[in-house]
Amino acid sequence: MEHAVLNRIRREGFIPLGWFSTTDMGATRQVILIGNAGPEMFRRFAHEGGGSMDDWTRRVVEPLAADLDAKAAFPFDVPHQPFLSWARRGGAGHVSPLGLNIHQTYGLWHAYRAALMFPVEFDLPRVTAGAHPCESCAQKPCLSACPVSAFDGQYYDVVACGVYVNAGANDCMEGGCLARRPCPIGVQYQYAKPQAQFHMQAFAKARMK
């Protein structure tokens, strides 16, 4: 959709993933969830030196929010904000069998980087998530692709996953999570190797703490 605010977000390399109007969040009247989907945000991040993606996101998004007369909230801030609940309100997808949000366009290949909170409501159409794509996926290859069977559709064995990725060279570290990769939704947005490796290295490092 074309809109001045959405286009401004896109020019920074972010994707508007969903939005909703509200009267139950203090002075906020419109929330727009933004993040990465496809290569643009990661391409800019890498070009500007990489490092901590959380720190980089804050450096980029806070001036963007100020320019748009909005406030920014981040999923890595403490206390944590209810981004997945906001995603449901914003029509930004469904919960997949992996426990990850699955977007109707971007599949599993997206992530929320911030929410922009505006004191005014825009003339944006209501976004709907549509039918849950996983319900019509008979084989659910995401549940059988993990080499350590970390997913069963209800539980994620994060310990087994962390041990495996920290064991050294393996397909997940090389090209991204093997459970995500067979999903047929949004395959054109699947992370390229440098982006997949960056996120897997960050996950592995976090699991070692």
82/150 same-domain check: no
- Angle 40-47/53-67 helices, nearest 10 degrees? 110
Task: Print the domain residue range for 184.
Answer: 133-207
109/138 same-domain check: no
95/154 same-domain check: no
Q: At which of 56, 84, 118 does a domain end?
A: 118
Look at the chain and report how many structural domains it folds into: 2
Query: Is residue 127 domain-resident?
Result: no
CA atoms of 191 and 103, how far apart (whole Å): 15
CA atoms of 114 and 105, how far apart (whole Å): 19
14/108 same-domain check: yes
Those residues whose C-beta lies under 8 Å from the C-beta of residue 94, and which sit 6 or more positions away, are 101, 102, 129, 132, 133, 134
Query: Is residue 149 domain-resident?
Result: yes
Q: What tokens does 51 get?
A: 């490092």
pLDDT, tens digit only, all 209 positions of the chain: 789 999 999 999 999 999 999 999 999 999 999 999 988 999 999 999 989 999 999 999 999 999 999 999 999 999 999 999 999 999 999 999 999 999 999 999 999 999 999 999 999 988 889 999 999 999 999 999 999 999 999 999 999 999 998 887 689 999 999 999 999 999 999 999 999 999 999 988 887 76
Phi first, then psi: what are they for 67, rounded to 5°?
A: -60, -30
pTM of the predicted model as reported, rounded to 2 decimal places: 0.93
26/60 same-domain check: yes
Q: At which of 88, 118, 148 does a domain end?
A: 118
112/188 same-domain check: no
Give the pLDDT confidence score for residue 169 in this predicted structure: 63
Q: Using only the alpha carbons of the chain, give its radius of gyration.
A: 17
Query: Is residue 87 domain-resident?
Result: yes
75/163 same-domain check: no
CA atoms of 165 and 169, how far apart (whole Å): 8
24/109 same-domain check: yes
